[in-house]
Every structure is written in structure tokens, then in C-alpha cells.
Amino acid sequence: MSQPVSILRQHMQDAVEVIQLTTSIRPSIGIILGTGLGELAERIEQECAIPYENIPHFPIATVESHRGRLIFGHLRGRPVVAMQGRFHRYEGYTLQQVTFPVRVLYALGVRTLIISNAAGALNPLFRRGELMIIVDHINLMGDNPLIGPNDDSLGPRFPDMSEPYSRRLIALAEELALELRLKVQKGVYVALSGPSLETRAEYRFLRFIGADAVGMSTVPEVIVARHMGIEVFGLSILTDECFPDALQPLSLEDVLQAAREAEPKMTLLVSELVPRLPDAAG
Ligand code: HPA
């Protein structure tokens, strides 16, 4: 007897049906445009943009979150879908809601996902304004998007996390950065729920347990992507320095200013990476 279709899969199918009535683009590359990759949206030859509120089962935006859209188009000749705007745990969404768009990207055919974010530097050798390729993560959100019944047709109950960030994509990006003469750091990203920023004692602890950068996103999306076998590349803009013995109060304006300054580097790296991505994740 065949398995009944899970509610999650039904919701994915509902979303895909509406999206595929709107666009004929069938992308295998997905991009989550976090802080620092907004500009990349302008590099995409857009064919269509679908507001999240028009897509069945997408979370309803809270007051704080920006209006989001799925952008379909071509980047350097490759068909892509980009999420302009993401959902965060601290806005009150469950991690299942936060990651539902990643489920939908998979159902649309996405097999490679590029994720960006803004993060605070914990590694004392890193500086504000630098880029960091994410090589691994630590989930300190106190939650996991896979808690609950598992749909075995999407992925395993206990998905492997020995290589959450694709080694071959990291190598490709490093090669590319060298060619483009872009300085990039590599490191471990730790995710906390937020929204309060961390104390000095917490920064000291996060550094001690092996993290190089800290933020409030990305990890849930990566877990769900890996659950379904999507290959992931993650990139942080280091927007501030979280050094416990020299900590300055953090202003959102400073974070956004650093992100704006680093954005051209991030945009360049990602827009050069996309045409070099292997055709299908293998
Ligand atoms: N913590 C500290 N600094 C940051 C963060 C964070 O979560 N995100 C961006 N800069």
C-alpha cells in the first residue's frame, strides 16, 4: 500500500501549483537574499516576481518583516529563483514556517541553495566588513525545524549533518575569490533565536565552543535543505565585532552600513559563482 500524502507535501504541492501557473521557469538554483545580497536581485533578469501573500501556505508577514517575494529569472544565463525576504524565529514564526519556502523551492526543482546573512564576528582575526564562507554550523536556537512527524518521502528521520555546507562549493568559491582578488574568511556560524543580542559572557562562550560568527538565521533553512538532499553554499557578511573584552554597543545603523559596504563583494562572488555551479547536485 502506498503512503498517504503528508500535509506538508500537500501544502508544498498547493504552492507549486500556483507558482507554476505564473511562471514557466524551472530553476535548479535557489538563492536566499539575506542582508547583503539584496543588490543581487537587480542582477537577475527578472521574468516574474510573486508576492509571498499570493502563495498558498506561505507564512503571513508580521508587521516587522518586509514584504517578501519569490523572484524568477536568469542570472548569467542560469535559471534561478530567489527569495527576497526571509522569515526569522524571533518574529514569532515556528521553524516549520521559517523553512516552508525551502520545501517549496525543492518541490520546484531546486537542488543547489545559496544562503546569505549578516553575522557578528567572534573570531578575533576577523574584521567588520569582511566576508565569511560558512563551513559548518552550531544550532543553539533551542529548536529544530524537523521536530514532529517525518515525511520519509522527503528525507530521513535522522538526516546526516557531516557536510551541511558542500565542500565542493566551498572549494569552488575559494578558487573564485582568489581569481577575483576578494578576501574571504572561512568559519563556523552559530545561530541563536534572538532577538536580544548576546552578552559579553555569551560571546565568550560562543567563541569557546568553536564559533567564528553569530547570527539569528540560516541554520533552520540549511537543516531543511539537507533533509531533502539540497546542496548548500552559505555566506556571511561580518557586520560587527563581538569581542567580549572590547565590546561596543551595537547599533542597527552600523550593522546596515557595514552590510551596504560589503554588499558589492558578496554580489560579485555570488553572481560569478552561479554560472560555474555544477548542472545538478550529484
Ligand atoms: N549577534 C551579534 N551581532 C550580529 C548578529 C547577531 O545575531 N547578527 C548580525 N550581527
Residue minimizing CA distance to atom 6 of ligand 1: 215
How close is the Cα of 197 to the center of ligand 1, in Å? 7
Quickly list H helices, 23-79. 40-43
The CA 2 to ligand 1 mean position distance, Å, reads 46
pLDDT tens across 163-210, in order? Answer: 999 999 999 999 999 999 999 999 999 999 999 999 999 999 999 999
Distances (CA, A) of 91 to 64, 95, 120, 138, 242: 7, 11, 19, 21, 23
pLDDT for the residue 280: 60
Concatenating the DSSP letter of every residue in 146-208 gives T-S---TTTS-SS---S-SS-HHHHHHHHHHHHHHT--EEEEEEEEE--SSPPPHHHHHHHHH
| Residue ranges around ligand 1 (CB below 6 Å) | 118-120, 194, 197-198, 214-216, 239-240, 242, 255
Q: What letter does residue 107 receive in the DSSP assignment?
A: H
Report the alpha-carbon distance of residue 22 to residue 17 in Å, rounded: 9
Spell out the domain ranges in the chain: 7-276
pLDDT band at 150 (very low <50, low <70, confident <90, very high): very high
> Mutation test of ligand 1: which of 140, 199, 216, 260 has the most ligand atoms closer than 8 Å to its C-beta?
216
- Choosing among 2.40.50.140, 3.30.750.24, 3.40.50.720, 3.40.50.1580, the CATH entry for 7-276 is 3.40.50.1580
Rounded to the nearest angstrom, the distance between the alpha carbon of 87 and the centre of ligand 1 is 16
- Higher-scoring residue by pLDDT: 85, 95: 95
pLDDT at 282: 45
Lowest mean pLDDT among 95-99, 180-184, 218-222, 243-247: 243-247
Distance CA 232, CA 107 (A): 16
**108 CB-side CA count, 13 A:** 32
Beta bridge pairs of residue 83: 32, 70
pTM, 2 dp = 0.95
